[in-house]
Every structure is written in C-alpha cells, then in structure tokens.
Chain A
C-alpha cells in the first residue's frame, strides 16, 4: 500500500515537472514555423413544423410523440491548413455528422462522429495559373454554386442536397478521392477537370470505374459568369451515368448575388419498364447584403423532378431567411423558413421554420 502511494506521489511530481517544462517551453519557444491554420465551422438548428399535414410534417397515427420541434446538430468541420510555401500546401478536414454504427455486440447507435472529409495536397502554378489537388478534395461539381449561394449552413445547393429533398440519388458528392486541375486560360475563361473514384468521401471505392468531371466558366463581362459542367462514369457493361449542368451567376450589382442552375442526370441503370428515366433539377437563388458581414437576406426556389417519366412527382422548395451577426462574424443567427410544395395533388405543403446557429473560428 505504502509503495503504491509513493508511486502515486512520484507520478504526480513527474506530471508536475512535465507540466512545468511544457509551460516554460510554451512561453519561451519561438512561434510555430510555416503557415499553419486551425479553423472550425459548426452549425445546428432548432426546427419547428408550422404544418402538420404534409408528407414530412404529418404525425404518424401510431406516434403520439411525433417530433415536430427539435434541435438538430448538423455539421462540425475541423480544418487544418498547412502552407508549406506559396506553391505547396495541404489540408486536412474532419467532418462531424450523425453516423450510424453497429458495434461488435450488435448494438446500434447514431452518434455524432468525426470522419475525414479532406486530405489533399495542393500544388500551384506547375501549369501557369493553375492549381492541382491530389487526394480527398472538394469536387468541382457544385463548388462555384455553393460559393455564390453562401448559405451551406442553411441548405445544401441543388445537386448537393438532391437526395435529401427528393429522396433519389444523383451520384453527386461534395468531396472525393482523386486528382483535380483548375485554372484559367484567360481572365474571362476558367476551367476545371477532375478524375475521382466516384464513390465520394463517405465510401471506399466500390468498382474499377472512375468518374471524370469537366467544367468551363465563361465570364463575358465583369460580374456575369456562365458555367457549363459535365461528368461521366461507367456503371457496368454497356451502362453509363452522365450529368449535364449549366449555371449563371450575376454579381455586378453591389451587395446582390443572383444565381441559377439547371442539371439533368442520366443513368442507364435507372429504368422504368425497360426505359431509362432522367432526373433533373432547377434552382434560382439570391442573397443581399444589407449591412456587409452583419445583416444579409437570402432566398431560393428549387424544383426537383426525380423522374421525367413519372407524373406529379415534382417538388418545389422555397427557402427564405435572414443572416444576422449580432456580435461579430464568428457567430451568426439565421432564422429561415422552408416551404415544400408538391405537384402531387394528394400531398399538402410542408412548412418548417428553422433557427440556424452558425459559429466559425
């Protein structure tokens, strides 16, 4: 017993000495070399259903405790950037989300878990005016639209959130493992090319086929961008999936951003009565800075068509809200309202009010 307590004492002193050395070093060591940056983005909502008879908001008859208001932690990004020099850098991002898991005993849970979103090396100017990313990086599919929309904390852009809204997959992912090349040919002409495994960052590669993406951005006048995008991935013998997308962004009006995007997704494996059906979507969005970095307004209308062969399956989604930074831009309150309208006459509207909290550092 005595020996144990003596060991404890020694261990305690040892820890104290280590802490002391650590404190001393942290005070007198020079600052960290190279440019390293840790940053984080966190957002969560309080949601309240304003309707109770739409497909989302109707309480099931057997569930008297149906969740019609709730807190929802949606994302946490922890990001580490290391700029080795002006032409070489790398990024590591951990994304946090509810991830379902089953442990060895078969116990299931859906805890908020971190997983890897980015892990890439960026090399600039090997080809003049270009950036090459190698590893798990943002895809070029909706990066431009997301930058213009600017409210990822409130809603994903059309392609990114298609599955969440329409319930149908269009094979679009925000990050994937592969290699990308983006750059400019001239000031009004930019390009992007990317080759990835096609499975996205949340799955290991499942087949031998790769996904090829290409994009051209034309800026005919300052503040007006037209973007053409296409991707291709072989799905198996004689089958392929392609996406075509066109975007327009108007940004020359001070404090106002307007954007529109349309896409069509064709997958030879999507068959209805042996005939292929296509999925498509359309989105118009805008944001206006009332007081830059303090108070902004945003609004968006999306149209989702999960199948061009199905009748009355279209969904319209309208989102509008306010983005307010009450103290400084690291903490923002974003009250927003979502209205779902269905072309199916049997489905009534869903109206949901969200209060989104966004924090960055």
Chain B
C-alpha cells in the first residue's frame, strides 16, 4: 500500500470511528429509556374502555409493586392497529376484529388472542328536556342513517334531530353501524366527537340531540345519572317491551337488545406479565370493579373462552 493510500484509509477510519462514537453515545443516552420502557405494559384503544382499564390498572399496580401499565385511548381501530404493528402489548376494543384487520394481521404474522373482560350496554342518550322516552331498534337505525329527521316522527316535538356520534376508528361507531344500522352508512349530518364524554357534554347542551355512548359513561362518580341527559329505553321492535341499559337484569338476561362484550387482544400468547394483568381483570375482584364502573360482568361462557386463550 502506498503512503497516500494508507493516509486516506487512516482518515476514513478516523471519521468512521467518530461516527461510531456518535452512534454509541446516542445509544447510551437512550439506554435508560430503553430499560424503563421495556418493563411497562402498553395498552391502547377503545375510548369506551379507557377509564375502566385505567382504574383496573391502577388497582393492579397498587397490588403489584413494580408493575407499570400505561393506558391510552384513541379508539378500538387504533388499538387493533397498534397490536398489528407491535406498538402496544394489549389492545382495548369494543367491537370484534374486522376482516381487513385480520387479513393485515395474517400478512404481518400476528395471531391475535382475544379476551372479553366486561360487557357494555350501548346506550342511546337524548337531552333531558326531550319528551321521547323509548325507541325501537329500527327507529334508532333510521335516526342515525338520517332517514328520520324530526323528533315528531317518533313521538317528540316538531324539531330537527341533531345527531352526535363517534369517528370511524371507534368500536362503538362500528358496533352500532353493524348491529343497528344494518351495515348502512351513517347520516352525513352526524357530528363526530372524539369520545363518549364529549357526546354526553354535547347532548346535555343541545335540546334536539341524540347520541350513543357506553353504559359506563352514563353515571357520575356518585352513581347518579349525569346532568342534562336522558337514557332512552330500547325495544327490539314495536311489539316488544322496552328496556333500559341501566337495568342490570335486562342486560344480563340479554333482553336489552344492544349489549356487547368489551375485549382485549394480545399478539400471540400473552407474556407472563400481561397474562397476570388479564387474570386480575377477570378475577372476582376485577369483575366487581367492572360493575362498579357501570359496566357488566362477563358470562361463564366468555370466562371459559378467556381461560382457554390464556393457556
């Protein structure tokens, strides 16, 4: 090797060395974040479930010193996407996986395990001044599709209906669309809110409003119905009796027609730490907290399916 070449190689080596040092220092700087983050269980998804799972997580962390759980909302779709992309450990979702999501999971080699942790009675709410007390499933569907536009058609006053709903990444949006709107499109007039709390707030201020929320959002911290809203009783059809989502017996007996399980998903078999948290949620203590938060316990059948998925 001639002198010139040796000098040039030396120069390159020195520069590459500096670059490596820079990269190594960057890694070192990130190291503490890395170790801290690795231990934390990241949960993302359903806005309907975010408060419930946060409370369950807080209780779990109080009982297991050293456990760390972060719970974020964003909607069921966001949670499921995060599980597919490997950016969370547990997805909260208030609807089942869509075919497109299952296709994408298959493509990415993700085999979801699904656990039902609670039951929700999807609730239709109106302003407290609205004289309408009950609706059939067909009427609810027609209202949110924009086919019924005036409250007088369903026994209310002559007033244009003001619709409040969620964005399409919400599981509640998808569940209502599939089970009540017969998979047809929502009206263009629906004002899309970021979460259940915003719907409650909007409905309480708008006399012509109707919205849909998870049952856990109906009551305040004292167990009283939130101010300014009224919960609509729902019947399967004109000839059936109507039921309230606040009536435990009608939900547990499946007479209330729009109830649904609330799920969590993992990518493949859950790790020991995640399995332990799920077991806590499914324990009698966890299920008592579910009820305290206004939701309902899961059935024996769902519990048996959960246990199978934990293995």
A251, CB-defined interface residue at 8 Å:
yes
Known A223-B109, A289-B86: A295·B168 in contact at CB below 8 Å: no
- In angstroms, how far is the closest chain A Cβ from the Cβ of B287? 30
Q: Are A254 and B16 in contact (CB under 8 A)?
A: no
Q: Are A33 and B189 in contact (CB under 8 A)?
A: yes
Q: Are B12 and A222 in contact (CB under 8 A)?
A: no
- In angstroms, how far is the closest chain A Cβ from the Cβ of B272? 15
Q: Are A337 and B186 in contact (CB under 8 A)?
A: no
Q: Which residues of B have CB within 8 Å of A219?
A: 106-107
| CB-nearest residue of chain A to B189 | A33
Interface residues of B in 149-200 (CB under 8 A from A): 162, 167-168, 177, 185-186, 188-193
Add 20 more A-B contacts to A291-B33, A351-B16 (CB < 8 A): A31-B192, A31-B193, A33-B189, A35-B168, A53-B8, A83-B168, A85-B186, A86-B177, A187-B103, A222-B109, A223-B108, A252-B108, A254-B86, A289-B86, A291-B34, A292-B87, A295-B30, A295-B33, A322-B27, A353-B19
Q: Could you tell me the distance between the alpha carbons of A83 and B192 in the complex, rounded to whole angstroms?
A: 12
A349, CB-defined interface residue at 8 Å:
yes
Q: Are A225 and B107 in contact (CB under 8 A)?
A: yes
Q: Which residues of A have CB within 8 Å of B188?
A: 33-34, 84-85
| CB-nearest residue of chain B to A256 | B86
Could you list 12 A-B pairs, sorted by A, with CB under 8 Å? Answer: A34-B188, A50-B12, A51-B12, A223-B106, A224-B109, A291-B33, A292-B86, A322-B23, A322-B26, A324-B30, A351-B12, A353-B19
Q: Which residues of A have CB within 8 Å of B8?
A: 53, 348
Number of A-B contacts (CB under 8 A): 103
- In angstroms, how far is the closest chain B Cβ from the Cβ of A356? 13
Interface size class of B (residues with CB under 8 A): 35 or more
Q: Are B19 and A337 in contact (CB under 8 A)?
A: yes
B140, CB-defined interface residue at 8 Å:
no
- In angstroms, how far is the closest chain A Cβ from the Cβ of B210? 14
Q: Which residues of A have CB within 8 Å of B30?
A: 295, 324
A39, CB-defined interface residue at 8 Å:
no
A168, CB-defined interface residue at 8 Å:
no
Q: Which residues of A have CB within 8 Å of B87?
A: 289, 292-293
Known A187-B103, A291-B38: A35·B33 in contact at CB below 8 Å: no
Residue of B30, B34, B105 with highest tally of chain A CB at under 10 A: B30
B227, CB-defined interface residue at 8 Å:
no
- In angstroms, how far is the closest chain A Cβ from the Cβ of B125? 17
Contact with A along B5-41 (1 / 0, CB 8 A): 0001001100110110011001100100110011000
B99, CB-defined interface residue at 8 Å:
yes
Q: Are B15 and A187 in contact (CB under 8 A)?
A: no
Contact with A along B59-96 (1 / 0, CB 8 A): 00000000000000000000000000111100000000
Q: Which residues of B contact A (CB under 8 A)?
A: 8, 11-12, 15-16, 18-19, 22-23, 26-27, 30, 33-34, 37-38, 42, 85-88, 99, 102-103, 105-111, 162, 167-168, 177, 185-186, 188-193, 267-268
Known A50-B15, A254-B267: A35·B192 in contact at CB below 8 Å: yes
Q: Could you tell me the distance between the alpha carbons of A225 and B18 in the complex, rounded to whole angstroms?
A: 39
Q: Are B191 and A30 in contact (CB under 8 A)?
A: yes
Q: Are A294 and B37 in contact (CB under 8 A)?
A: yes
| CB-nearest residue of chain B to A355 | B22
Known A34-B188, A251-B108, A322-B23: A351·B15 in contact at CB below 8 Å: yes
Q: Are B191 and A33 in contact (CB under 8 A)?
A: yes
Q: Which residues of B have CB within 8 Å of A289?
A: 86-87
| CB-nearest residue of chain A to B15 | A50
Q: Are B33 and A335 in contact (CB under 8 A)?
A: no
Give the interface SS of chain A, mostly helix, strand, loop or mixed.
Answer: loop
Shortest 6 CB-CB contacts between residues of A and residues of B = A223-B109, A252-B109, A50-B15, A85-B185, A292-B87, A291-B37
Q: Which residues of A have CB within 8 Å of B33?
A: 291, 294-295
Interface size class of A (residues with CB under 8 A): 35 or more
Q: Could you tell me the distance between the alpha carbons of A87 and B186 in the complex, rounded to whole angstroms?
A: 12
- In angstroms, how far is the closest chain A Cβ from the Cβ of B62? 26
A21, CB-defined interface residue at 8 Å:
no
Q: Which of A31, A255, A322, A353 contacts B86 (CB 8 A)?
A: A255
A20, CB-defined interface residue at 8 Å:
no
- In angstroms, how far is the closest chain B Cβ from the Cβ of A60? 18
A184, CB-defined interface residue at 8 Å:
yes
- In angstroms, how far is the closest chain A Cβ from the Cβ of B26? 6
Q: Are B26 and A335 in contact (CB under 8 A)?
A: yes
Q: Are B42 and A292 in contact (CB under 8 A)?
A: yes
- In angstroms, how far is the closest chain A Cβ from the Cβ of B142? 17
| CB-nearest residue of chain B to A225 | B107
Q: Could you tell me the distance between the alpha carbons of A228 and B168 in the complex, rounded to whole angstroms?
A: 33
Q: Are A86 and B22 in contact (CB under 8 A)?
A: no
Q: Could you tell me the distance between the alpha carbons of A224 and B177 in the complex, rounded to whole angstroms?
A: 33
Q: Which residues of A have CB within 8 Å of B42?
A: 292
Q: Are A324 and B168 in contact (CB under 8 A)?
A: no
A129, CB-defined interface residue at 8 Å:
yes
A188, CB-defined interface residue at 8 Å:
yes
Q: Could you tell me the distance between the alpha carbons of A61 and B243 in the complex, rounded to whole angstroms?
A: 87
Residue of B37, B42, B108 with highest tally of chain A CB at under 10 A: B108
A239, CB-defined interface residue at 8 Å:
no
A127, CB-defined interface residue at 8 Å:
no
